[in-house]
Amino acid sequence: MSTETLMPYDEALERFEPVLGLETHVELGTASKMFCGCPTGFGAAANTQVCPVCLALPGSLPVANEMAIESTIRIGLALNCSIASWCRFARKNYFYPDMPKNYQISQYDEPLCVDGYLDIEIEGKTVRIGIERVHLEEDTGKSTHVGGATGRIQGADYSIVDYNRAGIPLVEIVTRPVEGTDRLAPEIAKAYATELREVMRSLGVSDVRMEEGSMRCDVNVSLMPRGTTEWGTRTETKNVNSLRSIERSVRHEIERQAAILADGGRIIQETRHFHEDTGTTTAGRSKEEAQDYRYFPEPDLVPIAPDPAWVAKLKAELPELPGARRSRLQREWGVSDLDMAAMHNADAVDLVEATVAAGAPPADARKWWMGELARRANESGTALAALPITPDQIARVCAMVAGGALNDKLARQVLEGVLEGEGSPDEVVSARGLQIVNDQGELSAIIEQVLADNSDAADKVRGGKIAAVGALVGGVMKASRGKADAGRARELILQKLGVSE
């Protein structure tokens, strides 16, 4: 590991101002590849989803996937871009074994979508991230470097290539440089990627699984000294594959670059790799000498000229986008900006919405997901949505509480039972015997016993110190192992002692 020094984040931000840029690759979830009919499923045996086209056998030719073009236009529209009325694919030429043609079919100076934006919310404020372009290209194969310490090509004994991924449609979304983030740069980078992921999900164009590589971010960071306006040299941390890593990599690059600059050093324009285990980045390929990709218009494909009427139709048919949906839900649920932001950050909005849809009051749905369940997810290190409990089950528990069959304490035990695989809420209630005791006879018997055991307290109440009833209610709750309805018990105790409030 490198021994490079870091400047503490607060100090780095006092002295420097960061500028961000994000390039995000999203694999489209089309049934077939970008330029051939091969399937795109993840996880198939190596080199089984290939054909003459995606293996670049001599003589083979690409044919563009119309669904991929449509998806890209929809992404562009969702990101408020202008859609080109005429554009072309271009070849990006470079040699690498996992790229079968040794050129990538991409887009160069004629992207399909340009000049858009995406609004994100951070600390209750809206930040507008400019989108420079959205273009369509094809993915490469996947190299695995065997032997050697780093898993990278340098030092490996040999490499193997799986071309299943070669030719999967890939959309590249490039932001404009993001200035003025100040100390929120890491959070803004993460929030952008989160929001973008949600946009993709709502469009249904990709499964955007960062851990499987179907969404990957290249994070550009540069620093400029406070009080100056000229951007510094940037580094590009490649293929960061989780939202948390995006945040951490930005923070790390700020700390690393600040230390170098403060020491009078110079930032090298290069790609860097982020390491999950250490939270640091290490140098990759230098970009000091710009690689010459010899772009030229792809002669094997005809230009894309989307009919404006079709584009207008796609625009009209866009689903409700995540930002608009959150605003609507916030209104409908009557929650504060901060509560809404908290739900968003915890990935709870969908869950709460589904729970509400299953009949729970919004406040109750939020209370359980953001309280007990968030705590348990946090404890077990899983995502909220990955907990083994469904919105329907939460809604059922809420209904039982509302109907008086459970109190909050019992409800927590029901949830625990469900999470531990004991079955549905109703099954857990009956298996654990968690119904509230409101049977008149049983409750009366418990109260008689408690009054007998606590005659001092009973006397105090009789003597008018009504506050002392709390201890008696507590005794009833204890004796019933929490299953008694506390309110009902209180009423009965007062009645039995002949006291009225």
In the stretch 394-413, what mask flags binding to another protein with x, by CB under 8 A? Answer: --------------------
Minimal distance in Å, beta carbon 65 to another protein?
11
User: Total residues at the site for another protein (CB under 8 A)?
Assistant: 30
Burial class (CB in 10 A: 0-12, 13-18, 19+), 142: middle
* Minimum distance of another protein from residue 153's CB (angstroms): 8
Q: Which residue has the tokens 């705590």?
A: 375
Q: How far is the CB of 135 from another protein (least distance, A)?
A: 18
Told to check if 63 binds another protein by CB under 8 A, we report: yes
Amino acid type, 489: A
Cα(24)–Cα(12) distance, rounded to whole angstroms? 26
Residue 254 C-beta: closest distance to another protein, Å: 32
In angstroms, the CA 170 to CA 216 distance is: 10
Euclidean distance between CA atoms 196 and 126, whole angstroms? 15
Residues 6+ apart with CB under 8 A from 1: 278, 280
C-alpha 501: how far from chain center: 53
Indicate whether 285 belongs to the interface with another protein (CB under 8 A): no
Binding segment for another protein among 88-96, 261-269, 434-442, 462-470 (CB under 8 A)?
88-96
Write the DSSP symbol of residue 406: -
- The tokens of 100 are what? 């079968």
- Torsion sign over Cα 380, 386, 387, 388: negative
- Of 331, 403, 402, nearest to 367 (Cα)? 402
User: Binding marks (x or -) toward another protein, 237..276, rule CB under 8 A?
Assistant: ----------------------------------------
One residue of 33, 74, 88, 101 binding another protein per CB under 8 A:
101
Least distance in angstroms from the C-beta of 38 to another protein:
13
Binder among 19, 161, 188, 321 for another protein (CB under 8 A):
161
CB of 88 to another protein, least distance (A): 12
Q: Which of 80, 93, 241, 454 binds another protein (CB under 8 A)?
A: 93
Torsion, Cα of 412, 413, 417, 420 (10° steps): 70
Least Å from the CB of residue 186 to another protein? 34
**Given the complex with another protein, which of 117 and 295 has the nearer CB atom?**
295
Q: Which is nearer to another protein, 54 or 81 (CB)?
A: 54
How many CB atoms are closer than 10 A to CB 150? 11
- Indicate if the alpha-carbon torsion angle 144, 146, 148, 149 is positive or negative: positive
CA distance 425 to 289: 63
Contact window for another protein (CB under 8 A) among 91-99, 243-251, 272-280, 426-434: 91-99
Choice between 259 and 301, CB closer to another protein: 301
Closest to another protein by CB, 55 vs 122, is 55
Single out the residue of 3, 43, 59, 334 in contact with another protein (rule: CB under 8 A). Answer: 59
Taking the least distance from each CB to another protein, the nearer of 37 and 41 is 37
The residue from 1, 43, 45, 58 that contacts another protein (CB under 8 A) is 58
Q: Measured from the CB of residue 326, what is the shortest distance to another protein in angstroms? A: 42
Residue with Cβ nearer another protein (6 or 156): 156
**Chain position carrying tokens 């740069």:** 185
Among the listed residues 291, 290, 283, the one whose alpha carbon sits nearest the alpha carbon of residue 152 = 283
- Give the interface segment with another protein, choosing from 7-15, 62-70, 241-249, 434-442 (CB under 8 A): 62-70
Ordered alpha helix ranges (H), 16-112: 66-78
The minimum distance between CB 104 and another protein, in angstroms, equals 11
Matching residue, tokens 């990955």: 386
* Among the listed residues 11, 39, 48, 57, the single contact to another protein using CB under 8 A: 57
Direct distance between the N- and C-terminal alpha carbons of the chain, in angstroms, rounded to an integer: 72
* Residue 55 in contact with another protein, rule: CB under 8 A: yes
C-beta of 93 vs 454, nearer to another protein: 93
Q: Is 86 in the site for another protein (CB under 8 A)?
A: no
Measured from the CB atom, the residue of 100 and 322 that comes closer to another protein is 100
Give the shortest CB-30-to-another protein separation in angstroms: 17
Compute the distance between CA of residue 488 and CA of residue 437 in angstroms, rounded to an integer: 10
Looking at residue 335, its amino acid is: V
125-138 sheet: strands from edge to edge: 82-83, 113-122, 125-138, 169-175, 16-27, 215-225, 235-240, 270-275, 280-286
C-alpha span between 194 and 188 (Å, rounded): 10
* Single residue of 100, 306, 391, 475 touching another protein by CB under 8 A: 100
Phi, psi of 219 (to 5 degrees): -110, 115
Look up tokens 């993460």; give the residue.
190
- Letters for 288-317 (x = contact with another protein by CB under 8 A, - = none) are --x-x-xxx--xxxx---------------
The answer to whether 39 and 175 are in contact (CB under 8 A) is no
Report the residue number, 9 or 293, with the smaller CB distance to another protein.
293
Does residue 52 bind another protein (CB under 8 A)? yes
For another protein, the binding residues (CB under 8 A) are 52, 55-64, 91, 93, 95, 97, 100-103, 159, 161, 290, 292, 294-296, 299-302
